[in-house]
Structure 1
Amino acid sequence: MRTKTWRQLTVWLHVVTSVGWMGQALALFTLLAIGRTSADGEIRVAATSMAHEIDSFLLAPLANASAFTGFMLAAATAWGFTRHWWVLAKFAITLVQLYAGIFLLSGTLRDSVDAARAGDPPPAALVAGTALMASALAFQAWLSVAKPWGKVRSGARLPTAPTWVFVAAVLAPLTDITVGLLLGYPLPALSLVVLVVQLVRRRVVTSP
């Protein structure tokens, strides 16, 4: 297939995984809100436990794939990371979301399951955090559609990567998701390797 076709497939995968990420964030919000407001202890434990399972087996792989394909589209096309305000904003928001999801939300959610079994509801900050995650993803979707604020800086148009880069951008996250499901936890190893290779390649190609 041509480069254009694989680039379109990368965009499609980015859109699908981003929508999935937002949908799972809303599912977490709903379940944690039920876990916080329900007077039934069994429902509270079930809702919080299901939220934890969704985070581990659905949200995390989709978030990794969404972030990776977004980074690859920036690194492999003329958009770049810092040429346009809307791309830069999406990049910054994604980094914050990944940090919050990996180092804050997942750990707190895991602890909340044990707390629910002891009779305590999920913390309000965790419920609010999932709502903020979904809201941030919705805002990023608007940025992708509206492309506001113009350019950060001008300069020569950056080259589009060859076909194999977009092939890797599609196959790497799908492979990581499959491996992660088999292992029982998300492992975006191949995606990270592909991203690093493209960033290094991009730097070599654009160096004077």
Structure 2
Amino acid sequence: MITIKKAQPKSRSRRLSARARRAVLLVHVVAGVGWLGIAAVTFALTAAVLVEPELGVVRAGYEFHELLIGWLARPASLLTLGTGLILSVGTKWGVAAHHWPLIKLVLVVVTIAITASLAPGWIAAAQASGSQSVGAQVNLIGMAVFHVLTIGAATWLSIYKPGGRIRWNLPYPRRI
């Protein structure tokens, strides 16, 4: 006797349950808003320290700046990145199925990479020489503005979701 096997249904990718998605989304939003707030505070702090004439206050301001970055901004940025990846993989949006999650991922990774590579040197230079290191101080203000803009752009992308789906398998035009 011949038996015919039924075709197995296509396996769906694993998606988060509604409860898990909401929980991860809550953590993602809180971490992202926290990161934006920290960026705004570091902007205000760095701008205030820029015009401060007393070296002791300048050094204390940058020590506080380092504490904000190390204890709050880094964890918030990494938590935002991690929960964003979980949401991308665990929902219909995907990491690279739509334009906006991919752009958000690039914004977050670039912001973290630039900050991790440049900010420590600028903070050390600003702490060491105080008001003589105007260049490093201005760079730190620019870095804070950069953070506010990129995190704000990522927030905008989350709300408006522009661009639609990415069409990865477009055929190349044939030339005759």
TM-score range, shorter chain: 0.7 to 0.9
- 5+ residue gaps, structure 2: 1-15, 170-176
Alignment RMSD, CA only? 2.0
Does the CA contact (< 8 Å) of 1:17 and 1:65 recur in 2? yes
* Distance in 1 of aligned mates of 2:24 and 2:120: 27
Identity of aligned residues (%): 24
- Paired with 1:135 and 1:44, the residues of 2 have a C-alpha distance of 26
Report how many residues are paired. 153
In the aligned structure 2, how far is the partner of 1:113 from the partner of 1:107? 10
1:83 to 82, 97, 120: 97
Give the distance between the partners of 2:126 and 2:39, measured in 1 at CA.
16
> What stretches of structure 1 of length at least 5 have no aligned partner?
156-208
For residue 154 of structure 1, report the CA deviation from its aligned partner.
7.6
- Indicate the larger mover: 11-20 or 128-137: 128-137
Equivalent in the alignment of 1:182: none
* Alpha-carbon distance in 1 for matches of 2:27, 2:91: 16
C-alpha change, 1:62 and 1:110, in structure 2 (3 Å) is: farther
Partner AA of 2:118 in structure 1? L
Alpha-carbon separation, structure 2, partners of 1:79 and 1:110: 41
- Who wins on radius of gyration, i.e. which is larger? 2
1:98 paired to 2:112: yes
User: What is aligned with 1:57?
Assistant: 71
State the partner residue of 2:11: none
Q: Pairwise mapping of residues 26-37 of structure 1 onto structure 2 (< 5 A)?
A: 26-37=40-51
Given that residues 32 and 127 in structure 1 are in contact (C-alpha distance below 8 angstroms), is that contact kept between their aligned partners in structure 2?
yes
Residue in structure 1 matched with residue 60 of structure 2 by the alignment: 46
After TM superposition, the score normalised by the length of structure 1 is 0.67
2:173 counterpart residue number: none
Distance 2:42 2:161 in 1: 29
- C-alpha distance in 2, partners of 1:80/1:10? 15
Aligned to 1:3: 17
Partners of 2:52 and 2:59 lie apart in 1 by: 10
Q: In 1, Cα distance between the equivalents of 2:157 and 2:55?
A: 41
Matched, 1:16 2:30: yes
- The TM-score, its normalising length taken from structure 2, stands at 0.79
1:38 partner letter: E
Task: State the match for 1:136 in structure 2.
Answer: 150
